[in-house]
Amino acid sequence: MFAKNCWYVVAHAHEIDDALFARTLLNQAVILWRTTGGRVVALEDRCPHRLVPLSTGRTVNGQVECGYHGLRFDADGACAFVPGQSKVPKAARVKTYPVAERHALIWIWMGVADLADENLIPDLHWLDAPGWQATTGYLHFNCDYRLINDNLLDLSHETYIHKHTIGNDAVADSPAVTEVIGNRVVRVHREMPNIEPPPLFAQAQGNNGRINRWQIAIYMAPGFNMTEVGFHPVGTDRTTNHLMMRPIHIITPETEHSSHYIWGLARNFRLDDDGLNDGMFSSVTHTFEEDREILELQDQRLKAENMPNIPQSAVKTDKGPVAGRRLLEEMIRGETDDPTQCAVPIPLADDQQVTMPFTQAAQ
């Protein structure tokens, strides 16, 4: 049910320091910490002595010490010290996981360790590249990670779930163009010309004047989502007058029915405005919690019905989520058929050009 041979995000980089950080990913309990050199390492959160979580303990000189009997393990998972004895048992090893740090994120490889190539890390440079500023956060959702991807690929839900902030009728009413890129990315582009601004957009431009709005939902399997969100006042030139943001939504499975939602809202304007960060943090948190409420209910119902396929009755806006699920299934099938197969990331967006209205007829 999970793709394994790919990098997953564990946490924002600033969350990991020399103390133990515990998180379950793809049903596996893991601890992470920074060694004395600052490198992030990951071990299974399980002492091979009496199976107590190592996260009961602490780090000592860059090693982890179990909280029960004090056995220590180094960054390679080898037992380094047993209290009261000079020899350490060689069999007492802890499983390690390849880890990388990039784009202000900590990445982990849960599949075949030999295949862990840092060139396979998706490009999410908006979280730390010069010229960009990202407000970041974390939420825990008690639902299947795929439901969150589905939700992000059909933004018509904004009209209903987020009607007090970023949604109004224009979102659901406007057609979207769905495109599959390579074997890993789906892109759903919606233009909303000459519409009333939803509440948060009115607030952003300081008035209720009509806007040309666009949004692009981009999904890369298994759980990377970026939503390009842009608008400009009606009658102005999009290239010079738009305001644009790129929320990054990283969905990492915790278990079959719970997920980590690691997010960063990247912008390329007012980079040093800390007050703006604070406002965005609470808006985004509030908005994603609206999603959480409905997705957790959906998960409970699907579980009760033994996980039937969705949608059961398809509508036009299902095109994106259905395509996304297909890519994810192919990715999982690919590594099932060939355990050495790893999916290659695809660039999600181009920083050099402003998104323009599509000319082709909306599908």
Given the rule CB under 8 A, which residues bind its own copies?
46, 48-53, 56-57, 65-71, 79, 82-85, 89, 91-92, 150, 154, 156-157, 159-161, 169, 172-175, 294, 297-298, 301-302, 305, 308, 310-318
The tokens describing 88, both together, are: 């350490």
**Packed helices 145-153 and 274-304: angle between N→C axes, nearest 10 degrees:** 120
Give the C-alpha separation, 221 to 146, whole Å. Answer: 10
Which amino acid is residue 73, in one-letter code? F
Least distance (Å) from its own copies to the CB of residue 151? 8
53 or 233: CB nearest its own copies: 53
What is the distance of C-alpha 313 from the center of its chain?
Answer: 28
Q: Residue 67: count other Cβ atoms within 10 Å of its Cβ.
A: 15
β-partners of residue 261 are 139, 251
Least distance (Å) from its own copies to the CB of residue 63? 14
Least distance (Å) from its own copies to the CB of residue 240? 30
Give the C-alpha separation, 222 to 343, whole Å. Answer: 10
- Closest to 52 in 3D by CA, of 64, 76, 75, 69: 69
Least distance (Å) from its own copies to the CB of residue 305? 7
Give the C-alpha separation, 128 to 132, whole Å. Answer: 7
Give the C-alpha separation, 209 to 214, whole Å. Answer: 16
Least distance (Å) from its own copies to the CB of residue 143? 11
- Closest to 245 in 3D by CA, of 266, 224, 218, 269: 266
SS3 of residue 79 by DSSP: strand
62 or 70: CB nearest its own copies: 70
79 or 152: CB nearest its own copies: 79
Least distance (Å) from its own copies to the CB of residue 308? 7
169 or 237: CB nearest its own copies: 169
90 or 337: CB nearest its own copies: 90
275 or 308: CB nearest its own copies: 308
